A and B are shown apart, each in its own frame.
Chain A
Amino acid sequence: MIEIQLTVNGKDYTVNIEEDKRLLDVLREDLGFTGVKEGCSEGECGACTVIMDGKTVNSCMVMGFQANGSNIVTIEGLEKDGQLHPIQQAFIDIGAVQCGYCTPGMILSAKALLDKNPNPTKEEIREGISGNLCRCTGYSKIVKAVEKARGYEDES
């Protein structure tokens, strides 16, 4: 067992974990952030996407101990004072949600993109979510939703 410290959605945590535990399991099992989804366990589907120190990572591909000292944002951290993040609102308004299993990862990839590039082209949006699979084939509406959220002002 090793002890790691990390910040998730602005809150500090210290957890004792087994050395072979993945960040995905630390977030879901130890800290209860079940909005982080497991789809393929090998970094292909993007369902387990979280933002780690400003960059998106597949949390199934990051070991727990590698996250020591890092700052993580999960889907649960996007709402501010009961207000949905503009990307979340856009996903609802456009109807970019079907089975919902890819949704947390999609929204976080979109956030990481818009944080860096507030005015991406359609092509850049497609590239930004290219690591996230949607099997309900809802890509058009997902891209549309990110376009709608484009240019949002991140107050965080």
Chain B
Amino acid sequence: MRMSLDIVGKNMIRVDALSKVTGKAIYPADVYMDNMLYGKTLRSKVPHAYITVNTKEAENIDGVIKIFTCKDVPTNEHGVVFKDHEVFCSKKVRRIGDPIAFVVATDIKTCDLALEKIKVNYEEIEGVFDPISAMKEDAPKVHEGNNIMYHYKLRKGDTEKGFESSYVIAENTYKTHMVDHAFLQPESGVSYIDEEGRVTVVVATQYPHYDREEIARALNISEDEIRIINASIGGAFGGREDISLQIHLALAAKEIKRPIKVVYSREESFISHSKRHPLIMKYKTGADKNGKLLAMEADIIGDTGAYASWATNVLRKAGVHATGPYYIPNVKVDSIAVYTNNPFAGAMRGFGATQPPIAYEQQMDILAEELGIDPITIRMKNMFKKGSETATGQILTESVPLEECLNKVLEDMDLNLDRKGAY
């Protein structure tokens, strides 16, 4: 007997819909507290340099309460997988927008004035801005050691043999660009010490539990001394997975013991948070006379910018999905993440599965054209069905309704496969 479901398959009214249509939903910037101070972040203006920072003059400005730098952070590091970010840059900046200092003052105008008066001496060093150059032995190093921070290898069957028996081979390189999430609500937050003495941060975040862990580590206090309150979130799409202002706010509240508010401008939001990984995808795909795929090789290079963020997971996923939804007996994929001095790349809608379709679907079209068959026919011949084996060796035993989906599309588009150039 089929279980009846209360929620699945039905349109439910969101629990927060009423508060959002009436303007009562509270996003972090909507929090105003008594005795509240404001904070602002000083960010690197150059992509690669050794720095020295002098805050003396700025500290003497009326209304400036405190200026935080790397010296004030017990454990000056964070990062979702690798702790390669610094809370504040200590010796070196690795991208435009790297945080250097955090000013707390009585109002925003005083914060702005103080930012201008902080002296940063940049001793610029050569940067590297494309991942291919960054992979070379003699390229400038973004962190200690090699710029190649991850290499995923997928090997199945024998691609050389597969290409030998191929009737057509398509070889092309595809590039995708960096994308910003541009969530509508720029980063903002308020921190304070709550009635139980806990360092409290009100923030719009995708990971309140990670935020707490990162703050505990950086401030060297225990997690139960920290409280993260997730306010309404004005869009995120992966862009709120990394730390932005959480540690700065927590550090300031712990030291100053007054509420502190931070609201990023749109510009600061763009400059500071992650992007979608731009990928360079070199593909070689072979098929027999009938359009059956025999072999595929893909070299995928991802520019993760100055920090790793989720690069390992994103490039692994790009590699796992490199064949697309098509059965190919012989597959070789190398998917590499590389540090550069560009804005760092991380999570964004699709997490590495979004970029490869640009490559593998065009490969399918090109092969179809060379074979003189319909682009739909070539897909029908190769697509995953129930029982298919993926390039990673997984047997698909559950729902694989791709054929059904494509047939439905054809039906509704009234396409006739026999007609030449039907697509």
Contact = CB atoms under 8 A, between A and B. Distances in A.
B266 A88 contact: no
B183 interface: yes
A122 interface: no
Interface of B: 11, 13-14, 16-27, 29-30, 32, 181-186, 232-237, 263, 265-266
A133 B94 CA distance: 33
A135 B16 contact: no
Given A92-B17, A133-B184, A135-B237, A76 B22 contact: yes
A84 B20 CA distance: 12
A6 interface: no
Contact of A35 (B23, B186, B266): B23
Interface string A8-26: 0000000000000000000
B21 A88 contact: yes
A111 to B, nearest CB: 12
B184 A135 contact: yes
A64 interface: no
A95 B266 contact: no
A93 B13 CA distance: 7
A76 B30 CA distance: 14
B182 A100 contact: no
A97 B185 contact: no
Contacts of B16: 97, 100
Given A99-B233, A99-B234, A135-B184, A40 B266 contact: yes
A99 B20 CA distance: 8
Interface in A38-73: 38-42, 45, 47
A109 interface: no
A84 B23 CA distance: 12
Among B11, B14, B17, B237, which residue has the most Cβ atoms of chain A within 10 A?
A: B17
Nearest to A102: B184
A39 B235 CA distance: 11
A100 B232 contact: yes
A77 B180 CA distance: 34
B17 A97 contact: yes
Given A37-B234, A99-B233, A102-B184, A42 B21 contact: no
A33 B32 CA distance: 12
B182 A41 contact: no
A32 B30 CA distance: 9
Contacts of B181: 135
21 contacts: A32-B32, A34-B23, A35-B22, A35-B23, A37-B184, A39-B186, A40-B266, A47-B184, A47-B185, A75-B22, A75-B23, A91-B17, A91-B21, A92-B21, A95-B13, A95-B17, A97-B14, A98-B235, A100-B20, A101-B183, A135-B235
Contacts of B185: 37, 39, 47, 99, 101
A92 B13 contact: yes
Interface residues of A, number: 39
Most central of B181, B265, B266 by chain A CB within 10 Å: B266
A103 B30 contact: no
Contacts of B17: 91-92, 95, 97
Contacts of A75: 21-23
A34 B184 contact: no
Nearest to A33: B23
A61 B181 CA distance: 24
B14 A101 contact: no
A99 B181 CA distance: 14
Nearest to A18: B109
Nearest to B232: A100
B22 A79 contact: yes
A102 B184 CA distance: 7
A114 interface: no
Contacts of A33: 23
A134 interface: yes
A98 B237 CA distance: 12
B190 to A, nearest CB: 13
B269 to A, nearest CB: 10
A34 B20 CA distance: 11
Contacts of B265: 41
Nearest to B263: A38
A34 B30 contact: yes
Given A99-B184, A101-B235, A39 B266 contact: yes
A29 interface: yes
Nearest to A45: B184
A106 B153 CA distance: 47
A24 B26 CA distance: 16
